[in-house]
Amino acid sequence: MKTRKKGERFDLVIPDKWKNVTIETILRKHWQAPKKLVHSMRMEGDIKVNGELIPWTETLSTGDVLQIRLFKDVEYDVLPTYGELEVLFEDEHLIVVNKPAGIDTHPNQPEETDTLANLVAFHHQAKGERCRVLHIHRLDRDTSGAMIFAKHPLCKAILDRLLAERQIKRTYHALVHGRLKQKRGTIAEAIGRDRHHNTRRRVSSSGQEAVTHYKVMDFRNSYTLVEVQLDTGRTHQIRVHMSHIGHPLVGDTLYGGKPIFNRQALHAARISFPHPLTGEMIDCEAQCVDNVGL
């Protein structure tokens, strides 16, 4: 699929597989964009074909150029802050970065400047891109690894849907206490809040569905290095589930791990997903840069 960015516009050449479709079909069926966003784009005249505004029910032909006003200048929603940022993938629609441990994903207060979102905002600013910092998922403060940010609302809406549909595959590496007897397994236990501790979560029959798959990568003395994949994305999911089966993460004192490291040994090592607008598969690997055995 041929695409290009021209100023505020995203130009997409209609491929043969999309001939005889309409603008409405592309937005609602192929991209499954939210109704509110589709309505806004229609009202603001954000979409043209070959330079002309046409009815959204008019069929398109192979080679037509769909021109969408996606890249509007907006104020940064977080304060741009200079800092080292490892970019794993980037185009005009999204960016995937390797989050270091020890920083939050986004500010909890408007004046905060020491989060990953602040670094991403500075990266956009340095490139001359004025766009909001739209995170698709989160990592705990002391978890490192691959994270996706969208650059405009249409991309965020599609990525949010892909996440809900489990089309965004996240692979983690974790070092846990003990030697697991099973080489692989699945933990399907609902997770809810711990009534006795504000920041803790726990396995609870009244909690939200949570499914974690793990397999053993290596044994290291009295520890096990495991690869983990999630079907759901509950707060502290890996930490809660591994602790629940008697193998808390090394360094995770909140869930029973010993303070061998100054953080839990958990790293989002890989993320793969279809590009929200082109469908091309994106596969990113993130190296763990601090010494926590991963």
**181-233 residue pLDDT tens:** 999 999 999 999 998 888 899 999 999 999 999 999 999 999 999 999 999 98
- Asked whether residue 236 falls in the same domain as residue 215, the answer is yes
- Asked whether residue 141 falls in the same domain as residue 208, the answer is no
Name the least confident of 106-110, 240-244, 282-286.
106-110
**Residue 110 covered by a domain:** yes
Question: Cβ–Cβ contacts within 10 Å for residue 182, how many?
Answer: 10
Average pLDDT, rounded, for the chain: 93
Output the pLDDT for position 136.
95
pLDDT of 178 over the 90 cut: yes
- Asked whether residue 258 falls in the same domain as residue 174, the answer is yes
**Residue 250 covered by a domain:** yes
Question: What is the number of structural domains in the chain?
Answer: 3
**8-61 residue pLDDT tens:** 889 999 988 888 899 999 999 989 999 999 999 999 999 999 999 999 999 999
Among residues 158, 136, 157, 145, the alpha carbon closest in space to that of 274 is found at 158
- Asked whether residue 22 falls in the same domain as residue 41, the answer is yes
Q: Are 280 and 91 in contact (CB under 8 A)?
A: no
Whole-number Å distance between alpha carbons of 184 and 215: 4
**Residue 275 covered by a domain:** no
Identify the residue with better confidence: 75 or 149.
Answer: 149
- Asked whether residue 186 falls in the same domain as residue 263, the answer is yes
**Residue 237 covered by a domain:** yes
pLDDT of 109 over the 90 cut: no
- Asked whether residue 193 falls in the same domain as residue 222, the answer is yes
CATH number at residue 25: 3.10.290.10
pLDDT tier at 100, thresholds 50, 70, 90: very high
Whole-number Å distance between alpha carbons of 288 and 268: 8
Q: CA 185 → CA 193, 212, 213, 226, 247, distances in Å?
A: 24, 8, 6, 11, 13
Span 87-102, average pLDDT: 96
Out of 69, 101, 125, a domain closes at 69
Output the pLDDT for position 1.
66
Whole-number Å distance between alpha carbons of 162 and 32: 10
- Asked whether residue 177 falls in the same domain as residue 255, the answer is yes
- Asked whether residue 100 falls in the same domain as residue 151, the answer is yes
CATH number at residue 217: 3.30.2350.10
Span 75-92, average pLDDT: 93
pLDDT tier at 291, thresholds 50, 70, 90: confident
* 194 in catalytic set: no
Contacts of 144 (CB under 8 A, 6+ apart): 98, 99, 100, 101, 266, 267, 268, 286, 288, 289, 290
Among residues 50, 44, 94, the alpha carbon closest in space to that of 69 is found at 44
Task: Please state, for a pLDDT cut of 90, what percent of the chain lies above it.
Answer: 82
- Asked whether residue 97 falls in the same domain as residue 159, the answer is yes
**Residue 245 covered by a domain:** yes
pLDDT of 76 over the 70 cut: yes
- Asked whether residue 151 falls in the same domain as residue 174, the answer is no
**Residue 10 covered by a domain:** yes
**Residue 157 covered by a domain:** yes
- Which DSSP state fits 73? -
**Residue 81 covered by a domain:** no
What is the bridge-based pairing of β-strands 144-150 and 94-99? antiparallel
- Asked whether residue 126 falls in the same domain as residue 163, the answer is yes
Range of the domain at 62: 3-69
Out of 18, 44, 69, a domain closes at 69
Largest CA distance in the chain: 67
| Catalytic site residue from 46, 104, 140, 142 | 140
Whole-number Å distance between alpha carbons of 9 and 186: 45
Whole-number Å distance between alpha carbons of 172 and 164: 18
pLDDT of 5 over the 80 cut: no
Output the pLDDT for position 19.
81
Span 84-92, average pLDDT: 96
Copy the structure tokens of residue 204: 């609870």
Output the pLDDT for position 7.
74
Out of 168, 203, 238, a domain closes at 168
Task: Please state, for a pLDDT cut of 70, what percent of the chain lies above it.
Answer: 99
- Asked whether residue 180 falls in the same domain as residue 152, the answer is no
**132-166 residue pLDDT tens:** 899 999 999 999 999 999 999 999 999 999 999 99
pLDDT of 241 over the 70 cut: yes
